[in-house]
Every structure is written in structure tokens, then in C-alpha cells.
Amino acid sequence: HNKKLQKHKPRWLLLQTTAGRKRDPGNTEHLFPADLIDDIVHNTNLYALQKGRENLAVTREEMQIFLGINMVMGYIRYPRARMYWSSEDGLHLRLIANAMSVNRYDQILGYLHFVDNYTCQPANTDRLFKVRPVLCALQETFKAAADPEEFQSIDEQIIPFKGLLSIKQYIPKKPKPWGMKVWVRAGTSGYMYRFEVYQGSARRERVSWLGMAGDVVMRLCDDIKHKNHKVFFDNYFCSIPLIEALKDCGIYGAGTCRANRLKGANQKLKSEWQLKEEGRGACSVVSDNANITVTHWLNSLAIHMASSCPGHVQRPFSVALYNQHMGGVDLVDQCVAMYPHRCRKKRWYIRMNLLLFKASVAHALINAGSLQQSRRGRPSATPPPVKRKAVTKVPREVRFGTGNHWPQLTETKYICMQCCVPLCPGCFVNFHTACV
């Protein structure tokens, strides 16, 4: 059986590991290590033995092929899994069918397990007991496989699942509202550095003065203290005490903030109707002695921004940074959602493990794409094409509205303080006068 498997297997389907070989950033071996696969093989065979199946005998190589097949099924999509092994020429996929038989695939999927069920103690309140070894292993490998980026974001992620499960959550504004909620810290490239599965009130530790959401941020950031990182989050997490606590740990924070979490700063800011009188783009800024800035800014809606990142321009600097670096967790969802799995199982831990495996593959691709490939040979005599700078179009509400339309001299040119566009002094009147 093993010789036949060696003969027909596609080499790239194996998540091979070779001792002493230089680590390839595009390989998943340092994200889904061999020790973890060996543990899955052991617990799968043990579970089959407990269920009366004595001759399952899954090997490490078969488990690697099984995971590789699930990865292929993510981007070559069929309505049903058995179609990959169909005898019809239009459906038969040799890449999968020659690697493993359909019956063997179903056997491994049916007995797939990650922990020995008999080791669970009656007093154990960990609802993630069935996947805890996988979660702990991936936490370490995700953190060690790549250097943390300077700009990172924290948000929630949903693992879709609608079966019976005590930790299942419903978030109506998500594309798939039912599922398991995961707190994620990710970089702007889409790399997931830390994650924490939400278990509800059963496993909630004692809440500090920062609140439950603030405690989540502090736990996710405990490995990047005093390294000059910038972390962004939405108004579910953000508060002035959290910004202060992060700054004490050497981490800059910024995010949209609710009015009832501003510790009285909103009383010193302009009200919403005052900003509307000034027009779109108007803002009001206050800061304290610790250089924590609170901004009330009017765009399509009036929002509050709290930030410990220094700097302020006509569009608040905290808003620009937030828009630029907040989408890391959404990019993780996008990378994983591009390769959905067609296998629908009632066992929730199968769904979670497959999603984390695909996140590992996405991380390997991100690491591989971040490398700068050096070119051999002489440099080209043709100069590289010059990229034209994009023209900034100022909205009419800002261009012709009231505000500080005054010239400001920078190092080499004049700009309008309100519109933030370069203008020569003689063109200010014509630019800000609407044509009748």
C-alpha cells in the first residue's frame, strides 16, 4: 500500500519536512510542523481503535496527503467531494484521485481527532478541549514564523458554523453571522500573529478595570511590548484607559471611540452641530499631558478618534493611519474565504482545524511573497517607467465650504490648509470660487 502511494502521489501535496534544510518561507512546515501532524496521526488512530476500527493505521505521509487534498479542494471547487474521484472524464481530477482513494479519504475524515477524549477531566471547563493542542501549537508557530510588522490591527473573526455548539455566537453585521468568534491580531499584510477563541462567560477570567474588550487587547499584545508597534482597533475595544495602558507598555494605539469612553474629553470638543456648520472635513482636537489625542471629525458622519500616535494634519493623522492599517484581520478573512471547504461536518473541531490549516497556508504564501527576488545579469539600459502621481480630487463640500482656506508654506511649495492640495498663491481665489 505504501509503495503504491509513493508511486502515484503528487510531490507538492506532501507537506514535507527535512531536518537540517534551510527554512523556505513559502513552505508550511514551520507553520504546521511535523510534530503536530504526528500528534494528529496518533490521536486519529487511537480514536479509531476506541471505536472498534483496529486496522485504520494512518501514517504521517497519508495525513500530509489528506491535508494537501483539502487544500486543493479549496480552489478547485466541486459541488460534492466524491466528484473529484468520479469516473467521468469531465469530472475526474487525477491530482486528487491518484494521491488517495475516496474510501481512504472518507475513513481518515471520519476518524480525524486531535486529542484523546478519555483524558478530559469532569471538572474541565475548557470548551476547546478537543482542539487545544492544535491551538497551542499554532499560536507558537504563527508567532515564530515571521517578524511582527510595525502596524497591526485587532478585530473579531467568525469561523462559520450553524450546528449545536455552546460557544456559537451570532453577529448580525457579519457576512456569515453564525459561528465561532475569534479575536485576532494581524498585520497589514494579512498575517495572523495571535488569536484567541472566545468561549463566552464560562471561561472568562476576572475582568480588570479596562473591561472585557480591553483585556482581550492587552492579552493579544503581550508579546510586542516596548518595540514601537502601532495597534489599531474599532470602537468595540477602544477607550482612553486602554490607550493609556498600551502606551505604558510601549505600544502606540489608535481607534474609533464611543462618546461615553472619552473620560470627559468630549466636553472640550466642538459638538456635532458646530462641526456641521463649518462643513465636511471640520474637526476639533484636544490632547492631554500624556500626548493622547482625541479628535472629533466630520466626514459623512461625525466620529471620535482616540490615539497616542503623534501628529495632526487637516485630515486627522489618526484617521489616516486607522484607514490605512485597520484592515489586517479583514484581509485574513479574505485570504481564507478565497479557498472555502466543501466538506460540511457536524463536528465543529473539524471545521476549526481546517480553517487554521488554510490560514497556515495563507501565511506561507504571504511570507513567500514578501521576499525580494534578486535579478541576475547586467542592469537594464532602459530606465524604469516613471509612475505618475495620482491627482487628488477635493470634494466640493470641502473646496467651496467654509474653513481655513489659507496658504501654508511647506519645504518646496504652498498648500491650502483646508483642502491639503498644492496651489500657487495667485490661484487661491479662482480655485475656491464656484463657477456660476
Domain boundaries, the chain: 29-119, 122-200+208-225+326-368, 235-324
C-alpha Rg value of the chain to the nearest Å? 27
Instruction: Please compute the mean of the pLDDT values over residues 32-47 and round it to a whole number.
Output: 88
CB-CB neighbours of 286 under 10 Å = 17
d(CA 352, CA 339) in angstroms, rounded, equals 14
> Hey, what's the cell of 227?
518595540
pLDDT band at 44 (very low <50, low <70, confident <90, very high): very high
CB 85 within 8 A of CB 92: yes
pLDDT band at 399 (very low <50, low <70, confident <90, very high): confident
Q: What is the pLDDT of residues 176-235, one digit of tens each?
A: 888 888 898 988 888 888 888 888 775 666 788 888 889 999 999 988 998 889 999 988
d(CA 401, CA 416) in angstroms, rounded, equals 13
| Region of poorest pLDDT, from 163-167, 168-172, 269-273, 310-314 | 310-314
What confidence score (pLDDT) does residue 55 get? 86
What ranges in 52-206 are assigned the alpha helix state H?
60-75, 94-97, 102-111, 132-144
CB 255 within 8 A of CB 224: no
Instruction: Please compute the mean of the pLDDT values over residues 323-332 and round it to a whole number.
Output: 69
Q: What is the pLDDT of residues 239-264, one digit of tens each?
A: 999 999 999 999 999 888 898 888 88
What confidence score (pLDDT) does residue 363 get? 57
Instruction: Please compute the mean of the pLDDT values over residues 126-147 and round it to a whole number.
Output: 82
* pLDDT at 320 exceeding the cut of 90: no
Q: What is the pLDDT of residues 347-392, one digit of tens each?
A: 666 666 666 666 666 556 565 554 334 344 444 444 555 555 555 5
Higher pLDDT, 4 or 64: 64
What confidence score (pLDDT) does residue 396 get? 75
State the pTM of this model. Answer: 0.66
Higher pLDDT, 419 or 12: 419
User: What is the SS3 assignment for 68?
Assistant: helix
> Hey, what's the cell of 243?
490607550
pLDDT band at 46 (very low <50, low <70, confident <90, very high): very high
Instruction: Please compute the mean of the pLDDT values over residues 84-107 and round it to a whole number.
Output: 90
